[in-house]
């Protein structure tokens, strides 16, 4: 998707309604959604292959141009005249996020496009040496149950770890994956639980049940101000949040799943995955726009805690 930004000044309230008038100073478009995950992976030194379906429209062309600007390959992208390219436009004044306007289609892919997309991803997995696969799910209809089943099965047959950042529609379809990363709200709603966020022992009890039912190796739950939780069924780790000056949480989840997947691919243990991903999510929240993680900053901050992990 495209993340569009409108920066402006607010000096008065509209006489037409009790809303601020934003005097536009600057506009900018950036890669968003799963493309932001790819940006994070690229910024950390790995080579992402971004796979998605975009619209055959002006915003789709803009999206491809943005990929070209960062020298990111486009061969994973399928263009369809049956969808709109998703655009999220954020209005910002004095580092404050005022409002967001979304333009999108969220219906699932038509059967022929779904089949084309699945075959396309399979061919990329066969042609390239893949170290990890990330499902960055935004409930926009591009990820379907058929796609999940077929790609996870292929990945497991090749011993490729699969990391998932889920949403509600397909929450219970991600079976037998390596790492599953909902936030706390998604976990309790997806599992129909009555659980307090601070009840870490209770969270572990429910995590074990969920992992056993779903065949998930590592359950990684973000707890916002309480940090992160990770379970491998037998043990769990709770990593507290690092105190920071939060400017914007947009894109933090993208950064966390990107770092977690790379840590997973390199064979790090659960505590290391959780702690380094937790740091990365906090770092990007200090910036009032969606940006990829800065590798040097993450390395510097990780080096201070690595001996404790």
Q: Which residues neighbour 137 within 8 Å (Cβ) at sequence distance 6 or greater?
A: 143, 164, 165, 166, 167, 169, 170
Cβ-count burial 134-143 (b if 16+ within 10 Å, e if not): bbbbbebbbb
Q: CA–CA separation, 73 vs 246, rounded Å?
A: 33
Backbone angles phi, psi at 128, to 5 degrees: -115, 160
Q: Is 149 a catalytic residue?
A: no
Catalytic residue among 102, 254, 296, 307: 254
Q: CA–CA separation, 210 vs 205, rounded Å?
A: 9
Backbone angles phi, psi at 243, to 5 degrees: -65, 125
Catalytic residue list? 254
């Amino acid at each position: 998707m495209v993340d569009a930004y409108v920066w402006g000044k607010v000096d008065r309230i509209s006489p037409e309604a009790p809303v601020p008038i934003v005097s536009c100073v600057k506009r900018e478009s950036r890669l968003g959604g799963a493309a932001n995950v790819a940006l994070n992976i690229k910024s950390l030194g790995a080579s992402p292959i971004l796979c998605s379906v975009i619209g055959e429209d002006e915003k789709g062309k803009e999206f491809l141009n943005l990929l070209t600007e960062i020298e990111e390959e486009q061969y994973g992208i399928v263009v369809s005249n049956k969808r709109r390219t998703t655009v999220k436009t954020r209005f910002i004044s004095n580092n404050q996020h005022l409002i967001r306007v979304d333009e999108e289609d969220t219906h699932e892919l038509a059967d022929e496009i779904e089949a084309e997309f699945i075959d396309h991803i399979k061919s990329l997995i066969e042609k390239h040496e893949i170290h990890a696969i990330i499902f960055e799910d935004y409930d926009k209809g591009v990820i379907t149950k058929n796609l999940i089943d077929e790609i996870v099965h292929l990945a497991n047959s090749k011993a490729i770890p699969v990391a998932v950042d889920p949403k509600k529609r397909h929450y219970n379809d991600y079976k037998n994956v390596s790492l599953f990363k909902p936030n706390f709200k998604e976990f309790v709603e997806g599992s129909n639980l009555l659980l307090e966020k601070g009840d870490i022992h209770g969270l572990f009890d429910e995590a074990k049940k969920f992992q056993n039912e779903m065949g998930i190796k590592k359950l990684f739950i973000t707890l916002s101000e309480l940090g992160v939780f990770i379970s491998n069924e037998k043990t769990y780790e709770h990593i507290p949040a690092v105190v920071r000056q939060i400017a914007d949480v947009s894109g933090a989840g993208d950064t966390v799943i990107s770092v977690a997947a790379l840590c997973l691919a390199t064979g790090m243990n659960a505590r290391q995955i959780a702690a380094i991903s937790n740091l990365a999510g906090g770092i990007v929240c200090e910036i009032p726009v969606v940006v990829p993680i800065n590798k040097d900053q993450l390395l510097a901050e990780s080096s201070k805690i690595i001996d404790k992990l």
